[in-house]
Amino acid sequence: MKFKEAVTYDDMLLVPQYSDIESRKEVDIGNNLGHRKFRIPIISSPMDTVTQADMAVAMYRSGGLGILHRYNTIAEQQNMARKVIDHTEWSGNVAAAIGVTGEYLKRAEALIATGVDILCVDVAHGHHYLMKKALTTLREAFENHVYIIAGNVCTLEGINDLADWGADAVRCNIGGGSICSTRLVTGHGLPGLQTIFDCAKTDRDVKIIADGGIKTSGDIVKALAAGADFVMCGSLLAGTTESPGNVITLPGTHGERAKVYRGMASKDAQLDWRNKSSTPEGVASYIPYKGSVVDVLLDLEGGIKSGLSYSGARNLDELRHKVEWARQTSAGTQESGTHIFSQSGRRK
């Protein structure tokens, strides 16, 4: 039997290259979605514990993009969009998610009428007949007046089909997110970095969004080096002042503060947004409270720019040309993480 080998973020490292970059200021990590320009290639996930209006505004001001989640009524989602538009002196770049069944077209029309100009067709298994129908319908209704992100897929055939059906950008990765249990429940998926290597072979004019499983700025650099144009993050941006939900003090700790972070297919989330739950494909958890997402994004931006300078690259194109990959052993992966704690057994 022939089967493919598939690597993910912790399996791989980028080999440092000769660099003449003297300051991170020389490094430009900007990218674009159509004519829309972004200073940082980071998008916040359309999840109800990640992106409502406050997160979308903070993402916009930090140079990235936030996608308003769809687990609400059309009126509630429109209100979020209005809040973003009021707070950002709207010049475009307001993004919101829709599904592929039921009222999705009505929702899309209402969002566009409110000022949303980027739609995200958001389903777990995007390489699907219902996605084809939805994308065809949306393109018939709005032609090229709206930018369309769609997903998720994890294969070259998947990204190519979605692009042919009308997607401008595609979210790539199935089941790799920190709160996902899709691979455990269904046995399906593909490691996240391999997904990007495979999808980056596309010859279509389509942007690649590496979605899920991104834990550090180092993972972001790896995704970009493998061919992603943007990354989409949930857990990295959850647990912040701007993410939805209250900060709580975890019982039985010395005052550790946290917020809820949950998969949209978790039992918890399903019960909240549709009053019933089918087999969950996600989990709900607490995530430590991190303060403002603006500071989190500044740290990520610094880390990504430093990453490019290690490859001697001033922008994403140069990174992809100069990149050299090394596969690490499990001992290498252990060495690549901070490991003083495992030696001393104590933390200061």
Q: Which residues are catalytic?
A: 180
**CB of 211: closest distance to ligand XMP in angstroms?**
5
Q: How many Cβ atoms are within 10 Å of 194's Cβ, its own excluded?
A: 21
Residues 9-48: x/- map of binding to ligand XMP (CB under 6 A)? ------------------------------------x-x-
Burial per residue of 156-184, b for 16 or more beta-carbon CB atoms within 10 angstroms, e otherwise: bebbbbbbebbbbbbbbbbbbbbbbbbee
Select 66 or 227, whichever has its Cβ closest to ligand XMP.
66
Decide if residue 311 touches ligand XMP (CB under 6 A): no
Residue sitting closest to ligand XMP (CB): 282
Select 95 or 180, whichever has its Cβ closest to ligand XMP.
180
Compute the residue count for the chain.
348
Contact call for residues 151 and 209 (beta carbons, < 8 A):
yes
Select 52 or 178, whichever has its Cβ closest to ligand XMP.
178
Decide if residue 264 touches ligand XMP (CB under 6 A): yes
Amino acid at the residue 339: H
DSSP 284: E
The tokens for 342 are: 């495992």
Decide if residue 180 touches ligand XMP (CB under 6 A): yes
Decide if residue 281 touches ligand XMP (CB under 6 A): yes
Kindly calculate the radius of gyration of the chain based on its CA atoms and give it in whole angstroms.
Answer: 20
Helix then strand then coil, in percent of the chain rounded to 5, is: 40, 20, 45
Which of 191, 227, 263, 307 touches ligand XMP (CB under 6 A)? 263
Select 285 or 333, whichever has its Cβ closest to ligand XMP.
285
Sole window of 23-31, 74-82, 208-216, 338-346 interacting with ligand XMP (rule: CB under 6 A): 208-216
Select 218 or 313, whichever has its Cβ closest to ligand XMP.
218
Decide if residue 54 touches ligand XMP (CB under 6 A): no
Give CA separation, 19 vs 25, 150, 301, 327, in Å: 14, 37, 19, 22
Task: Report the distance separating Cα 18 and Cα 148, nearest Å.
Answer: 39
Task: Report the distance separating Cα 237 and Cα 294, nearest Å.
Answer: 9
Sole window of 16-24, 53-61, 77-85, 177-185 interacting with ligand XMP (rule: CB under 6 A): 177-185
Decide if residue 168 touches ligand XMP (CB under 6 A): no
Which of 158, 212, 218, 227 touches ligand XMP (CB under 6 A)? 212
Task: Report the distance separating Cα 56 and Cα 315, nearest Å.
Answer: 25
Enumerate binding residues for ligand XMP (CB under 6 A). Answer: 45, 47, 152, 175, 177-180, 182, 211-214, 232-236, 263-266, 281-282
